[in-house]
Amino acid sequence: MNAAFSAADRASGLLLHVSSLPSAYGIGDLGPAAFAWIDRLAEANQGWWQILPLGPTGYGNSPFEPISSFALNPLLASPEQLVEEGLLAVGDCADQAFLTTHVDYDAVAPFKHDLLRRAWRRFRSGARPDLGAAFDEFCEQQAAWLDDYALFEALKARQGGGGFLEWPADLARRDPGALAAARKELTETVDERRFAQFLLFRQMASLREHARERGVRLIGDLPFFVALDSADLWANQELFLLDAHGRPAFLAGVPPDYFSPLGQLWGTPMHDWQSQGATSYRWWIDRLRSLLAHVDLVRLDHFRAFAAAWHVPAGAMTAETGQWLPGPGASLFRALEESLGRLPLIAEDLGLITDDVRRLRDQFGLPGMRVLQFAFDGDPKNLMLPENYVSNIVAYTGTHDNNTTRGWYEALPADERQYVWSYLQQPAGESDRAAWELIRLAWSSAAALAIVPLQDVLNLDGSARMNVPGNPAGNWRWRCSAEQLSASGFQRLRELTDASARSGAAG
């Protein structure tokens, strides 16, 4: 079985990360604003909400380099729901003022961690004793990843936040005696981290149930790589290409091209596919199953690396000296099918895609992606042009890595702007028309699923961009306001959705 879309599955949705929702507490979360957002989607006849990876973030606050592939981000915890559950008092949430419209991670992180610590202490002091059995059951069911994650976080805090490769060698290399002693010494902190995940999983389950009641399904995102300083790597070192000292033998990146003459060096460790294959890809199966407990459909980031990935020797200063080495190919996806059945996946097949990548995608019927901002290069065979679409794809105006469509258009040279309007068979227009023209193209296309970032519905300029790839600072901070979620663009989107026969969720 596969996740192929057909023309009968026509649907649409919006891309917005949880952190971008409005909130009084400095960052969007899983609470009231997320419920209201789902209601807004339903009112606009949108069947899908696409989010970014939900794991706890580390350096740079990127959701694509989470500390864990299984845990949820504590910064997304809803204070309102913790108050409602009797684990916080209203006053616990009132002593912090957030003065910026963007996420200030330096202010948000200590505030949220303090709230979760207070909730734990209140629970330990006897509040909500009815949750005790559920918490114990959660810890038992999730022990395969939860125990290591909680200990990793506790050790990291004790080591002053330093990366695990800089910890004492016996802890970094997971000496059994050292780990047993650490668990005993850090029992309280470990249990606190477990309890935070218990609360987050409850909040996420409640949100997903509300989405189902409103006919909205969730699209999650699974990064291909894991962060260098992560519980994933620390707890599963045998599954990655490491040297004799436990450090990465290769780092991920992409080779030089027209835009990047030195290539891009990402700094994330590489998978050891021989080792992972020997376990029948159990870690990947568990990883995908865990995410599917929260969402209905998963975008596989950097899909091309399942066929082959660019391996850069550790110590290289640029990505020029790397080489393409094969990925797991079809064997991984067969293992996923055998364990999970139908594969509800989207292949992120953007960039330089070779025939082996296409064959792998098509062998399992996975929908690919098309991005309209990449369509207008003058080549009539450009696969990003709507006339070249098939039904089994997801069409986007742009993704989290793109500028907003208005910002993209405003940055185009004059001749390329003219080409856009010539393609649209319209007289040259102002920049405030560009976003909705691309939305119209996506919605009227043959693609079974069309997705637009909220920024484009709101017709926002480049200042609302979520991420600039290759820029290590200032990303992942954009937030919308409550007033923007009442904008007239949602009524316009509903009318376009109805006219394009996209109402409802894809099958």
What pLDDT, on the 0 to 100 scale, is given for residue 168? 97
Q: Is 401 a catalytic residue?
A: yes
Q: Is 191 a catalytic residue?
A: no
As given in the structure block, the two tokens for residue 469 are: 């790839």
Is 120 within the bounds of a domain? Answer: no
SS3 at position 454? helix
pLDDT in tens, 110-142: 999 999 999 999 999 999 999 999 999 999 999
What pLDDT, on the 0 to 100 scale, is given for residue 505? 52
Angstrom distances, CA of residue 195 to CA of 75, 191, 440: 14, 6, 45
Structural contact between residues 438 and 396, judged by C-beta atoms closer than 8 angstroms = no
Task: State how far the Cα of 46 lies from the Cα of 216, in Å rounded to an integer.
Answer: 7
Quote the number of domains for the chain. 1
Element (DSSP H or E) covering residue 156: helix 143-158
Is 229 within the bounds of a domain? Answer: yes
SS3 at position 75? helix
Structural contact between residues 15 and 454, judged by C-beta atoms closer than 8 angstroms = yes
Starting at the earlier edge strand, list the strands of the sheet with 345-347: 345-347, 297-300, 217-222, 48-50, 11-15, 449-453, 393-396, 368-371
Task: State how far the Cα of 132 lies from the Cα of 140, in Å rounded to an integer.
Answer: 12
The catalytic position among 9, 348, 456, 461 is 348
Q: Residue 251's domain is classified under what CATH number?
A: 3.20.20.80
Q: How many Cα atoms are found within 13 Å in the side-chain-facing hemisphere of 55? A: 30
The catalytic position among 39, 301, 337, 410 is 301
- 455-459, long-range: CB < 8 A, 24+ apart: 455/404, 455/405, 456/397, 456/398, 456/404, 456/405, 456/406, 457/14, 457/487, 457/489, 457/490, 457/493, 458/484, 458/487, 458/489, 459/406, 459/432, 459/435, 459/489
Residue with structure tokens 């209601």?
Answer: 39
Residue 313, strand partner residues: 250
Q: Which residues of the chain have pLDDT under 70?
A: 1-3, 95, 258-259, 504-507
Is 404 within the bounds of a domain? Answer: yes
Structural contact between residues 102 and 477, judged by C-beta atoms closer than 8 angstroms = yes
Is 364 within the bounds of a domain? Answer: yes
The catalytic position among 92, 147, 170, 401 is 401
Task: State how far the Cα of 455 lies from the Cα of 478, in Å rounded to an integer.
Answer: 10
SS3 at position 280? coil
Burial of 20 (0-12, 13-18, 19+ CB in 10 A): buried
Could you list the residue range(s) of the whole structural domain that residue 474 is in? 7-73+213-499
For the chain, how long is the longest CA-to-CA vector? 73
Element (DSSP H or E) covering residue 423: helix 414-423
Q: Is 175 a catalytic residue?
A: no
Is 24 within the bounds of a domain? Answer: yes
Contacts of 382 (CB under 8 A, 6+ apart): 374, 375, 376, 388
Is 143 within the bounds of a domain? Answer: no
SS3 at position 214? coil
Structural contact between residues 187 and 253, judged by C-beta atoms closer than 8 angstroms = no
Give the helix ranges, DSSP H, for 214-236.
231-235
Contacts of 199 (CB under 8 A, 6+ apart): 77, 82, 85, 87, 116, 119
Strand pairing report for 11-15 and 449-453: parallel
